[in-house]
Structure 1
Amino acid sequence: MGASSNIDQLIQYTALAAKTTRGIADASNVPFFEVASALATAILTIVQSVKSHKEQCTMMVEQIHETLCTIIQLYSTYESDGALPPALLYDIARFVETLQKVYGFVKSQQGLGKIKQLLKHGENVVQLKACQEGLRDSYDRLKIHAVGAAANQMAEIHSDAHKQHEELLALLASHPEITRSDHSSSVAGTVTSLGASFESLAILPASPQIFHGRESELEEILGALMQDSARIAILGTGGMGKTSLATAALQHPDVVAKFTKRFFVPCHSTPTHSDLVSNIASYLGVAVGPNLARKVVRHLSYGPLTLLVLDNFETPWEASSSRAGVEEFLSLLTDIPQITMRGAERPDRVKWTRPFLQPLRPLDDDAALKTFLDIADDNLEERTVRELLDLTGGLPLAVNLIANVVSYEGCDTTLERWKTERTRVLSDGYDKKSSLDISIMLSFTGTRMTHDAQALLSILSLLPDGLADAELLQSHLPIPNVLAAKATLLRTALAYVGQNHRLLVLVPVREHVRAAHPPPAEHKLLLRRYLHELMYLWRQFRVLPSAEIVAQLAANLGNINVMFADGLQEDPPDIIATLKSIVVLSGFTRVYTSTPSPLMPLAQAQLARFPDDPVCGTYFIDRFFASWNNRIPDPDAQIAQANRYFERARDEEKAKWYNALAAYYSTQGNNLDESVRYRRMVLSLTGPSDDLTKSRQQAMTGLANAMCSLGKQAEGRIRAQEAQQLAEMLGDVLAQAQAISSEARCCLSLGAFQDAARLCFGARDLLRVCGLAGTDVELRLKNFLAEIHLLKTEFPEARAMHAELAHTRMGTSAVFDQLNLALVDTLLGAAPAAVRQNLDVARHQFATAVGSPQGVLLCDAVGACLMLREGDAPGACALFEALFAKMRS
């Protein structure tokens, strides 16, 4: 489009592109699309009234239109894969960051007179240049993706706005499904621990189509389930059919009629107690946060009659390090009407229904034959079939695998191969396990198996979470037709598709293949690189709405733990990348499971080998920033070690370290003066880089909060306003809203409730216009509004907002919400028992998971208020005096 093009037409074209982007976001939940659409729409609204820099603004709108059209075309190409690749999402997120800068720039031009334009000329030039370069860079990067996609099916990218508009209309006409609300392309299926709506997680596995020889056990289970509060453990060795029996019971008409809700929760990728609790919470739709185990119990206890099946429960229970915690959690479930568990051994501390269900035994000859003939051809010689079945030992999984082999290769060939394999492996004699091993070997080496299918099964043997189709395609494994390989594994019964639409392998098969046919190092390296990309994507853009990325990471947590642990062995070429990813992973698990990554101790041991690598700086910065919810056991020694590293670092890295130290001293370090000193050290660093400017903006916001806590609210307000100006210049909407919330806090502390409320509402409007509603920053603003209600003695309104926040937020914020509810309930005259229950939960979390002595003191203060309300003035006075003494010490 040339200079003479009509600006109104260009805005119309761009509005359609933005609307289409929003339609895709609504239909498919693609990360960053909703924010991009909101920002583009907001920019168009403002541009129409801007009088200065009109030509430059028009050119930027044209670039936005081109980029949005490119993104839409890329989506239409990739959506059949199930998701956009991480590298493409990264560049889309970069584009969103640039749109924030453009929005900040055009908004700053509204209503500027000529004098103000002159005064801001230098600043405008810098901002305008950053916007133009950012848009150009985003378009160039996305065009590279488009060129790559063009090799498959994407049309040529045109630079003419009218042609692009026509192509967009044609695309929407030929692919109306890309903005249809019933269309979805979530890579993770719907797996995560966000506590939102995860209905497809609750999809139950179908009742087994082939089910023989377990009629008596099924009747016994059904009889027990018809009783009140039955707790059943289905025991047996691997491949004995425990899951099939549990599924048959779960789908039986009598069970369906009795239980309002039924859940089937796979536990094969939950090696620890906290993983198990988070996994169950995800399936139940319980929001992740503090005291999650009790939330799960409460959810089940107060809900309708529910049947909960924990499949592969032996995975978290058999590990000695987690057994005690797992058994304690099971004991908490004793108030819940029904639980079944399948495994190899019955855990203690649970009152299991008697008589106990006996461990499953192999199928009898008749049941084994019926199972075999349901899979293989009926027209087979019975003698040969019987001989084969005798060799399987009646293990259902072995019968299933051998029948699948026979259906393709015939009985005689399969029997001959069995004898050959048995001679090779059975040096210690024939037993049940070896029959299963041989069955798996015959399937693995069968004529139906291709080299690609074997390679895929080898990599899947490491992955307890399996892989979604998009992950199969995007991990760039050297398997030419990976979806054909998947089909082969499904046909041979070596793999199956779980209820979350991921390709999974049964535990006995995984264990055998991992030992006998481990994947080559190259395949593991490629898969780890894909997981590194996902971790980096979350780390770089975690402040943007990215629930889908969180969902995919949550769906792969078991895989990530296995692959990153493997990445620390034998010095692979990506060990530094793995260490960086583990640092990021620890931050992820702290937020979404309230625990640090179990891999962190392994990573710390390896970090000592690379004392001069930037990964050490990344570790120290993350560790001290996270001290607010993950206490540092030896802070002085770690600070000394980190200072030695940062002596040689660039100013940009030093600034991040000083901000991390300031965060530490404002929480765990409990020394605000020291925190202020480090914030000022950041401000003393000068330089033109964006990284350093962002650190200075963060330091100003932190300094504003510190000044407010020190009783210097006026100075804090000035610092907060400076932080807002810097954030606006950077085009960082979230940082700007955060700085506004700091100013609101200062106003609140000064008693300027009207100013505080005005600032909060203004910041929330800013976030909503830019598609950033629901972010942590907006929730913090909502918390300030609740505080304003509280201080104005508008207690019902304050309680309603705190209750809503308690159900929305997680981690330390959720603990404070629990404390605030206790305080408001005290003031509203709620029952003492209810207040104390909230206080006990908050106090326990502050003392353990959060590690906040100040939080414990606040709980005691609310407890003293409750005592005073209940007429125990001497007790309240004594507690207040003790609190003052602790605060002074």
Structure 2
Amino acid sequence: MTTQALLAGVQVYIKYIRMIIQHLSRTQNVKTNKDQCFQLIEGTYQVIYAIIRLHLESGTVGFVSSAILEDISKFTGTLHKIYTFVGIQQEGNRIKQFFRKSEVNGLLKDCRAGLEQAKEVFKVQIGVTVLDQVQSEAESMHKELLDIISSLSDGTVSDSSFSMLPSKPKIFHGRDSELRDIMEGLSQDVPRIAILGGGGMGKTSLARAALHHPDTCAKFQHRFFVSAEPATTVIELAALVGLHLGLEPGQDLTKPVVQHFTQQPSPCLLVLDNLETPWEPIQSRGRVEDFLSLLTDVNHLALMITMRGSERPGQVRWTRPFLQPLQPLSDEASQQIFEDITDDSHASEEKTQLLKFTENMPLAVNLMAHLVDYEGLTNVLTRWKTEKTATLSTGHHRTSNLDTSIALSYSSPRITPGARELLRLLSILPDGLSDVELTQGNLPISDIRSCTSVLIATSLAYKDTQSRLRSLVPIREHIQQVSPPSETLVQAIRKSFHDLLALYQNHNDAHLGIILTRITANLANLDEVLHRGLKPGSSDLSETIQGVLSLSSFFRVTRGGGTTLLDEIPIHLCDHRINVLYITERLKFPRLVDIGQLVTQGLSHLHQLHDPMLEARFYAAAGRTYFKFQSSAQQLEFLENALELSKSIGDSEGQCDSLIAMAEHKWRIGDYITALSISRNAQQLAYQTINLYQVSRAMHKTALSLADLGDYWLSLS
């Protein structure tokens, strides 16, 4: 932004404040809160003076940063609130009737908070500031501004307008398709374009890119970019627009703003950035939409808005086709942004890992890259592992603080209590949840479909290509830090997963494929939720351990390995049954060393129980492991015990398991005929019980035996 534009805008501020000071000088008109009014004006002058001095003493000749522009724009909202507060105190002011005493007190509180924040941002030097001095210095400063503006003669800015345009984004990748769609929309007769998406998705950057596109500059002689973030009502929104247009301050500028655009002879483009701030509250939404409707009645006024979420304001006929809410960038675009900022085009595992943490959210990529440029890859990666999103949250504004950006969406008035609960739950579920899991998971969240819609509407969650409701990594990490799910909620989802794993253990029929698919879709969820349940003192520790053992069985059968959660199970368990189940699963992994000690421990726990099925499963596991690490004779004894116990209780699955292990034993010692006979018996029993997994295992042993007997054709069949 040019220096001239900045100073022209500040000149409007001075004009604005002078008028307020003139009101205050008529002391007979100020009936209440006179001291507070003078304090507000005094503080306002300090900030205005600091803004000008900050710029004049910085040595910057041509431009100021977009961050300063953002802070100045935000301060504009505070100015309007001060103007409103002062107006309320005047005798005969009609606006006073619309404010209750509590609302006036709240307005004063907002004014003070806004001033204090501005003083901190612009580093106000507090000194002797008497109102008389303020009035006299305002005159000289106003003259100084006019002199400075006249010395900068680019001729692009009126001294009565605050129409400062933000700069074109210098690093901009991955939005070519969206920019092309916007330019196509702006080429129509009456463009009405809404850029939607979650916080940190680059909505403002995309709007700035469209604002400076050559086609936009050629078509629209007048372009206005107004940040609506400081506004909380339609009155404040209209005041912000009016300030950019150079209108005289007033109590309600909605009609003057529309009239100003109506009187313009040439096409205009108005960009309202972050419009969700005044639009989201239910009490102000209708009036904001009315204001937008009035603006769109102006035929030669093009309107473009940016808003968090996926909802468009009503009462506006938005240009078709609608722009879809912005999604994360591609891997290639994120990498290009990262390389442009860090000037490092070399591939590395650390860079890949850091970009993975951002999940291609533009703001996160940008902040991560700048941090790496300053601290280095290794240091940032180390910090992220402990600090998470706090690593990218050192600034104070949403554009430089990832946590602030996410918190703005999380505090939206649209977020219902149920939606908050659902988002908290999603924060610990990397895989998200399917519609079935949401609606049939017995989760303690009322009207969960409505909650899902709210999260999608605010872009805090989205449906992936598999129609699973998910939340991005930065959002999940932030929610875990500031508002983690309650233990009741975690236990509810854990019980749902326990039930799923129990289905896997108990069903080996045609439905097994559906169960395997559901488990596979939730592997990261299972790991996270079960890990949380293994903490000492957990109320459902026994159920969680059984879930971990079932998950270990799933990994062992489908992937030939186990789960690291097996190593997290507490060593000293009081439950004998859980101990036997744990040792039985441990025996199924060949990497074990002290098999004898593990078997001894298992037998000691079994002596405290009377559970033939559990005992049979233990002997079968011990038998298979003993052949690989101990004696063959001991293995056969264990397997025979397992077979007899299974027969005694009619456990067909246990019998199949024992027969298959015995067939493998005979095959390994070269007794192929006996191995063939036993495996065929196991195969027949598995068919009878419709246990497809056992059928496949028995067929494998049959094929091996036939091949070693020389019957290759039958083996292949």
TM range, normalised to the smaller chain?
A: 0.3 to 0.5
More relative contact order, 1 or 2 (CA 8 Å, 6+ apart): 1
TM-score w.r.t. length of structure 2: 0.46
TM-score w.r.t. length of structure 1: 0.37
